[in-house]
Amino acid sequence: MPPLLKFIVRRMLMIPITLFIITAGLYGIVMFTPPEQRAQLYLPKTNSPRMTEEMQQRMIERIIRDYGLNEPYPIQYANWISTLLSGGWGWSPLLRAPVSDLIAARAPTTIELTLYTMLFYMPVGIASGIIASRRRNRAPDHVFRLSAFTATSVPAFILGLMLLSLLYVGLGWGGIGRVSDPVQRIINSPDFKVYTGLYTIDGLINGRLNVTLDALQHLVMPVLALSALHWATVGRVTRTVMIDELDKPYIIAAEARGIPDRQIYWKHAARNALVPALTSSVLGAASLLTGVYVIERVFNLHGVSELIVATGVAALADAPLAMGFALYSVIVVLIVMVVLDIAQAIVDPRMRERWTQ
């Protein structure tokens, strides 16, 4: 088996192991809550006037017996996992809907914003870091360093509010929400089929370029606000590594052989700079996901952040929703990290060789 394919297989096999460890810890935290309190989550929110305290207590005892809330931890955890695998993520008493349906309805918004943010800041950060290193201590380098310092100093939600004030309120460009009202009516019409939930992609599939363009226009400001910090981090790492690479003997030897500067920068030094740049992207995957939720609230994007608000206000009253959101977040972060690890292994053969030894 080729080393790269072996690396991908081993990395994919790590996903269920990681999920097992994390979910076991999450459910272990839930086990600290007494069974009586967990049983109350299954009670109706409005009690009948004829229900006495004794009747309610008998109902709680029956719920504990039927749902096995007094069983040992391994049995309860196994029951929970089997329910998750069958598609049952629990019932949200706060929002009165299945947790899986609540997450599935909002996840495309968050995934679309996260996807375009990564597609924007990673190549732009790497390219700007390379250009800054090539023009070290000149005007482009000074502009990059000042911009990167500013991007890391301004919180994402503040930058989002500034963009709204400048572009949307001041210039009337862009907008809040995922799409404009006329395009939303097109999406809600029977003729428009939603395949992925990502409006930029569904618009192309349906042959409605106006839907895709409108969705992209509404993504510009949130993507810029969310990308700023990560662009600055990737750009700074790339610039530092490039400066270090350019002082190495193989670069001096390449220059002595008359290889063009453009080829030296982009084909040799830049390739070595990709590895730490991708590493910083992997480390920032979790913080990127957290930033998505904040930006969603600023730009009125009805994503998973709505569930954060619900669980944040009354997490104890809606433990299934809180657990479902935590599990969703873990899965998304794991997927992002695996994709970036594979990309890093493609660029750096040493990484896949270490994994396959």
pLDDT, tens only, 54-68: 777 888 888 888 777
The number of C-alpha atoms within 13 Å of 247 and in the hemisphere containing its C-beta is: 7
Q: Tens digits of per-residue pLDDT, 329-346?
A: 888 888 888 888 888 778
Please indicate, yes or no, whether residues 54 and 116 belong to a single structural domain of this protein.
no
Please indicate, yes or no, whether residues 346 and 227 belong to a single structural domain of this protein.
yes
Please indicate, yes or no, whether residues 172 and 67 belong to a single structural domain of this protein.
no
Please indicate, yes or no, whether residues 66 and 202 belong to a single structural domain of this protein.
no
- Confidence (pLDDT) at 133: 87
Query: Which residue in 129, 142, 125, 145 sits closest to 243, CA to CA?
Result: 129
Distance CA 215, CA 174 (A): 10
Q: Find the largest Cα–Cα distance for the chain.
A: 93
Q: Among 32-41, 88-97, 196-205, 270-279, which range has the highest average pLDDT?
A: 196-205
Contact 304, 107 (CB under 8 A): yes
Please indicate, yes or no, whether residues 81 and 122 belong to a single structural domain of this protein.
no
Please indicate, yes or no, whether residues 218 and 169 belong to a single structural domain of this protein.
yes
* Residue linked to tokens 């030094």: 269
- Buried-state track 121-136, b at ≥16 Cβ within 10 A, e below 16: bbeebbebbbbbbbee
Q: What percent of the chain has pLDDT over 90?
A: 23
Q: Tens digits of per-residue pLDDT, 285-302?
A: 667 877 788 899 889 888
Give yes or no for residue 347 having a pLDDT over 90.
Answer: no
**Mean pLDDT across the stretch 195-202?**
94
Q: CB atoms < 10 A from the CB of 171, how many?
A: 8
Q: CB atoms < 10 A from the CB of 255, how many?
A: 13
Please indicate, yes or no, whether residues 205 and 311 belong to a single structural domain of this protein.
yes
- Confidence (pLDDT) at 354: 62
- Confidence (pLDDT) at 211: 94
Please indicate, yes or no, whether residues 290 and 241 belong to a single structural domain of this protein.
yes
State pTM to two decimals: 0.84
* Residue linked to tokens 């000074």: 142
- What 3-state class would DSSP assign to 115? helix
**Mean pLDDT across the stretch 338-356?**
73
- Confidence (pLDDT) at 43: 65
In a domain, residue 151? The reply is yes
Please indicate, yes or no, whether residues 193 and 78 belong to a single structural domain of this protein.
no
In a domain, residue 94? The reply is no
H helix intervals, the chain: 3-30, 35-39, 53-66, 73-85, 99-134, 139-153, 156-163, 181-188, 199-205, 209-246, 249-256, 261-263, 270-283, 285-298, 305-314, 319-347, 349-356
Place 48 in a pLDDT band, splitting at 50, 70 and 90.
Answer: low
Give yes or no for residue 46 having a pLDDT over 60.
Answer: no
- Write the DSSP string, 49-73: TT--HHHHHHHHHHHHHHTTTTS-H
Please indicate, yes or no, whether residues 44 and 161 belong to a single structural domain of this protein.
no
**Mean pLDDT across the stretch 147-166?**
90
- Confidence (pLDDT) at 47: 57
* Residue linked to tokens 């920032």: 284
Query: Which residue in 92, 110, 112, 93 sits closest to 102, CA to CA?
Result: 92
In a domain, residue 93? The reply is no
Please indicate, yes or no, whether residues 297 and 256 belong to a single structural domain of this protein.
yes
**Mean pLDDT across the stretch 240-268?**
82
If one counts the domains in the chain, the total is 2
Please indicate, yes or no, whether residues 130 and 190 belong to a single structural domain of this protein.
yes
Q: Which range marks the domain in which residue 61 is found?
A: 31-86
* Average of per-residue pLDDT values in the chain: 83
- Confidence (pLDDT) at 41: 67
Give yes or no for residue 186 having a pLDDT over 90.
Answer: yes
Give yes or no for residue 355 having a pLDDT over 70.
Answer: no
